[in-house]
Structure 1
Amino acid sequence: MSGYGQFCAVARALDVVGERWALLIVRELLLGASSFSDIRHGLPRIPRATLSARLRALRAAGIVDDGYRLTEAGTALAPVVRELARWAVTTDSAALTEDDLDTAALTWDIQRRIDTSALPERTVVLAIEFTDRTANDRNYWLHLSQTSVNLCRQDTGAPVDVWLTAPTEAATRWWLGHLSWAQLLRQPGVRVHGDRSLQRQMHRWFQRYVFTPEALGVAGSEPAGAVPGNAV
């Protein structure tokens, strides 16, 4: 027997979306992934074979169609994903640990949560260096414009306008909404340098993690845009 073998609706739901990675694939599709490659970018640690198997199972269950789109049944899982995030934010049972820190997943989420309307009219290159990581996971480049956002793991040679250097945990806690931009800049090892006019406005470029405490309506959360005038 592959399932739980219980009449309970919770057990029957978990028979469908309870396998490892399954609900995270749904999360990626809810957040705009539209291809196998997009899903792998959002879940860099998932083996290709596992992703293929989970997609087959989700299609068989009528949750995903052949075009990497959620069906009506799949979209109906959005409140489930949101409430799981709320539970994680409000309980110590799912505290952030060192094992959860992944620069590839973090920068992919950053690039899909850029507010292009807040960007300058010209293209801006933002280099991010995670100071506590090895060469393969240390450096990323975001090429930002009002019409496109591109994340690069190799230096293309384009002039960099702004550099952000930070330990991975500090950058992750800012992205999750645990730290404001001003608080991030005060963390040990965090530095922003480059074009000073861009430094002053760059906090507005980031919409941050979709499930910040503020976005979830968790009491006591700090507004995501709270930045004192002298932050830079």
Structure 2
Amino acid sequence: MNGYGQFCAVARALDVVGERWTLLIVREMLSGPVTFGDIRRGIPRIPPATLTSRLRSLRTAGIVDLSDRRYQLTESGLTLAPVVRELARWAMTTESAALSDDDLDTAALTWDMQRRVDVDALPERTVVLAFEFTDRSPADRYFWLHLSKADVNLCREDTGAPVSLWLRAPTAEVTRWWLGDLTWSQLQKHPGVTVHGDRALQRQIQRWFLRYAFNRSALARMPSA
């Protein structure tokens, strides 16, 4: 028997979405259709074979559809949005799920940043924002965000494009800002954080990002389930 074998609605729900990684895959689709590669970038530590298996199970359960190589939630899948939201609310308000060093992942962080850009707030010209996470190894230390009203791209390699702004900081501090635990001003005042480059752009940068979808301010505006 693979399931819990209980009539309880909670047990039956967990039979479908309770496996490791499953709700994170659902989270990745809450903003719209995504490719297999998009999901991998949003959940960098999931093994490809596991992702394939979970997607197959979600499609069988009628939670996910596949069209033109893009995965999206069905009407049934979209009803899981409050479940994901309330899990986030719980994690943001309890010490039981406090942020730890094991939770810090620069690839996942910067990928979330590139998909939470307010393009209407960007300058008319293309801006390159470079990150140096000072506490990471070379493989996870540098990222480049190419920002324009027409397109937003995250690069792991330097393309040679002129850098408009450099942000040097420990991973934990940038993550805390992204989660809403720090303001941009508080982040800049941290002794391990420096921002270099165009001073006019430095004053604008905090307006370019919508930040984490379930940050404290966003959760406060969302109704409880």
TM surpasses 0.5 = yes
Answer yes or no: is the 8 Å Cα contact 2:32–2:72 preserved in 1.
no
Answer yes or no: is the 8 Å Cα contact 1:33–1:39 preserved in 2.
no
- The answer for the alignment partner of 1:31 in structure 2 is 31
Within the candidate set 93, 97, 113, 1:110 is matched to 113
Partner Cα separation in structure 1 for residue 183 and residue 19 of structure 2: 35
- The answer for the alignment partner of 2:6 in structure 1 is 6
- Indicate yes or no: 2:156 matched with 1:153: yes
Alignment of 1:171-182 (within 5 A): 171-182=174-185
After TM superposition, give the deviation of residue 32 of structure 1 in Å: 3.1
Quick one: which amino acid aligns to residue 12 of structure 1? R
Partner Cα separation in structure 2 for residue 47 and residue 33 of structure 1: 20
> Could you say what secondary structure the match of 1:160 adopts?
coil
- The answer for the alignment partner of 2:199 in structure 1 is 196
Shift in alpha-carbon separation, 1:213–1:72, aligned structure 2, 3 A: same
- The answer for the alignment partner of 2:49 in structure 1 is 49
Q: Deviations over 1:173-210 (max 9, x none)?
A: 00000000000001121010101111111111011000
Answer yes or no: is the 8 Å Cα contact 1:85–1:211 preserved in 2.
yes
The gaps in structure 2 that reach 5 residues or longer are none
> Could you say what secondary structure the match of 1:216 adopts?
helix
Quick one: which amino acid aligns to residue 40 of structure 2? R
TM-score (norm 1): 0.93
Shift in alpha-carbon separation, 1:155–1:33, aligned structure 2, 3 A: farther
Partner Cα separation in structure 2 for residue 185 and residue 69 of structure 1: 38
- Identity of matched residues, %: 72
Partner Cα separation in structure 1 for residue 61 and residue 202 of structure 2: 48
Partner Cα separation in structure 2 for residue 214 and residue 151 of structure 1: 26
- The answer for the alignment partner of 2:92 in structure 1 is 89
After TM superposition, give the deviation of residue 69 of structure 1 in Å: 1.1
Partner Cα separation in structure 2 for residue 44 and residue 121 of structure 1: 32
Answer yes or no: is the 8 Å Cα contact 1:113–1:206 preserved in 2.
yes
RMSD over equivalenced CA pairs, Å: 0.9
After TM superposition, give the deviation of residue 53 of structure 1 in Å: 0.2
After TM superposition, give the deviation of residue 33 of structure 1 in Å: 4.7
Partner Cα separation in structure 2 for residue 48 and residue 31 of structure 1: 21
Partner Cα separation in structure 2 for residue 72 and residue 202 of structure 1: 36
TM-score (norm 2): 0.95
After TM superposition, give the deviation of residue 151 of structure 1 in Å: 0.2
Answer yes or no: is the 8 Å Cα contact 1:111–1:150 preserved in 2.
yes
Answer yes or no: is the 8 Å Cα contact 2:91–2:98 preserved in 1.
yes
Partner Cα separation in structure 1 for residue 65 and residue 163 of structure 2: 41
After TM superposition, give the deviation of residue 147 of structure 1 in Å: 1.0
Partner Cα separation in structure 2 for residue 34 and residue 135 of structure 1: 28
Q: Deviations over 1:126-151 (max 9, x none)?
A: 00110000110000000000111000
Answer yes or no: is the 8 Å Cα contact 2:65–2:73 preserved in 1.
yes
Partner Cα separation in structure 2 for residue 33 and residue 105 of structure 1: 18
> Could you say what secondary structure the match of 2:168 adopts?
strand
Runs of 4 or more off by more than 6 Å in structure 1?
none
